Amino acid sequence: MAATARTVIIEEHGGPEKLKLADLPVGEPGPGEIRIRHAACGLNFIDCYQRSGLYPMTLPHALGMEAAGIVEAVGEGVSHLAAGDRAAYAAMPPGAYTEARVMPAAQVCKLPEGIPFEEGAAMMLKGMTVQYLFHRTTPLKAGDTVLFHAAAGGVGLIACQWAKSEGIRLIGTAGSDEKCALALEHGADACINYATEDWVAQVRDLTGGKGVDAVMDSVGKATFEGSLDCLKPLGMMMSFGNASGAVEAFNLGLLAQKGSLKVTRPTLFTHIADHDACQEMAATLFSKVLAGEVKIRIDQRFPLEDVAEAHRVLEARRTTGQTILTLS
């Protein structure tokens, strides 16, 4: 093993220019840990939130929440993985933007042979997010209708396919006609260009005035109030991201006025904190991919040293599908 690994760190919060490449020692895994050598790393909006300080961290700190590669060594007490295993993960603490690392083993999952490393690196955080949105947040069944914002993004394209595979009608929104076409291609029943259309009125029209059973919203501030107006009585609002900024404080009484609505602000890391739950969620995701029900579309690849540009492109919403960092 190499004694050091190229690793992306920040020493202070701020813009993409704060990202630095450093050679950090790797070391040996302790109890409950593994050492993994990455083949590729995933890129996610949470990485931008941590870099900017929206989600503050103790600094200096490495960044990155998901990757895939080969397990090089396991520490005492690790039984679900062994040296030589193919593996992928979405997990805390941040530090996935690296060639190799030592990390807790509990949320690392054995990657099936039929799934390439790049797909494994691109899908874990987003795919398990879709799993908990559809399976662990509110009861959803075939015939239900959901509104999904940013339907052509990394999470969105997985969600479009996931919904179709389970007979759930998905109405998407996206920021251009091209992105809407991409969502439709991946299984959305309809997709609304929120830049040119009154998407709230369109959702009401598409549901015959009834509204949707659930909204899945990673956009945040810009779409929150409109999303509430798209829900049917007793509907569930799942606000799981802040791409446009954090949702502002609001009068809880609005939920009663709009039909006894429910609101939740979930995070993936609460759902996967339990080892068994994490492994089960990953197994569901893997089965969808292996069955061809969900295809992982990687539209952007950046070398590790170009991570700052990758962040700029992601934050400018110039991406579709998944984005990964490659390791030469």
Q: What percent of the chain has pLDDT over 90?
A: 93
200-210 tens-digit pLDDT: 999 999 999 99
Q: What is the dihedral of CA 160, 164, 170, 176, to 10 degrees?
A: 40
Asked if 100 contacts 29 with a C-beta cutoff of 8 angstroms, the reply is no
Question: For residue 317, what pLDDT is reported?
Answer: 85
Question: For residue 13, what pLDDT is reported?
Answer: 97
219-233 tens-digit pLDDT: 989 999 999 999 999
Question: For residue 245, what pLDDT is reported?
Answer: 85
- Average pLDDT (142-170) is 97
Domain boundaries, the chain: 4-125+269-326, 138-265
Do domains 4-125+269-326 and 138-265 share one topology? The answer is no
Q: What CATH class has 4-125+269-326?
A: alpha beta
| Residue closest to 188 by CA, chosen among 220, 153, 222, 223 | 153
- Average pLDDT (94-121) is 98
Give the DSSP H or E segment for 161. helix 154-165
Q: What percent of the chain has pLDDT over 70?
A: 100
Question: For residue 1, what pLDDT is reported?
Answer: 61
Record the pTM. 0.94
Binned at pLDDT 50, 70 and 90, residue 14 comes out as very high
Q: What CATH class has 138-265?
A: alpha beta
